[in-house]
Amino acid sequence: MKLGRRILLIGLLALPLSSAFAQAPVPVAAPLAFKVEWVRPASQDDTKVRYMPVQANVADPNVIMMFYGKAAKQILTTSAPGNPAAPYGVWAGTAEGPFAVTFKQKNGYLDMTGLANVRWFTKTAGFHAVRPVVKLANGDLLVGDLTFESVAKLSLHEFSLLNIRWIKLDPDRIVTVPSGPTVGNPNPGIWVKTPDLTKIDEIGFADLMPGSGHGQGGYIQLGGIEVSGKLAPR
């Protein structure tokens, strides 16, 4: 009799645990929200010329390219479409100051929480670094403390936005600024404490240093970009 009670008690104690395991949601990868695939439009037919990138360089017409800072209009296209050794993209050695370039999916905001991620091809020279940039639904432009640097060849990187710390950017000068009033030591107050990553209007990249000009002195280069996350209504 005692043995039967013990078996029944053990079975009752184990039931909620096994039920909890059975009901645990399975993590699902975020869907592809948009892809930046660089193409050469008919207006850029001279293969010996590097052109300033324009909207027509983005294959998907639903992905809108935005420029921040005067130097953003000084970057150039590089390589050639279909080149497997050096994929077509943009190069920033001729940028005479800091800049940011972002992309927006015109059909909705981006929810970059959970398993959302970004994949992009980057290459850098000198002390230059590629940094992620987001523009929130409230209009704030933020730059992250995650950097991709010392990349000798165009390489693929994948990352999440969740563990990145963010600082507000002045959209015209592309310099970091406090996100609000600071008291005492300003350094801790410069970080944006709780950015809303569930409604991102634009996402892209920045270089906070001027380029060194043509050659191998100092620059950043980006190839294709893929953004995976849920779309939220505008």
What is the band of 75 on the pLDDT scale with cuts at 50, 70, 90? very high
The pLDDT of residue 152 is: 83
- Which tens digits make up the pLDDT trace of 10-68? 444 444 544 445 566 777 889 999 999 999 999 998 988 899 999 999 999 999 999 99
Q: What is the pLDDT of residues 94-148, one digit of tens each?
A: 999 999 999 999 999 999 999 999 999 999 999 999 999 999 999 999 999 999 9
Looking at the predicted structure, is the pLDDT value of residue 197 above 80?
A: yes
pTM of the model: 0.86
The answer on pLDDT for 93 being more than 70 is yes
Band (200; pLDDT cuts 50, 70, 90): very high
What's the pLDDT at 12?
40
pLDDT tens string 135-154: 999 999 999 999 999 888 88
Say whether pLDDT at 80 is over 90: no
Q: How far apart are CA 201 and CA 217, in angstroms?
A: 34
Q: Which tens digit of pLDDT belongs to each residue from 150-190?
A: 888 889 999 999 999 999 999 999 999 998 765 555 556 79
What is the pLDDT confidence band of residue 3, given thresholds at 50, 70 and 90?
very low
CATH node for 30-232: 2.60.120.430
**Alpha helices for the chain (secondary structure H):** 2-23
Provide the strand spans (E) within the chain. Answer: 32-36, 63-68, 76-78, 89-91, 99-105, 109-111, 117-125, 129-136, 141-144, 148-149, 155-159, 166-169, 176-177, 191-192, 200-207, 219-228, 230-232
What mean pLDDT is reported for the chain? 88
- Pair 88, 81: CB distance under 8 Å: yes
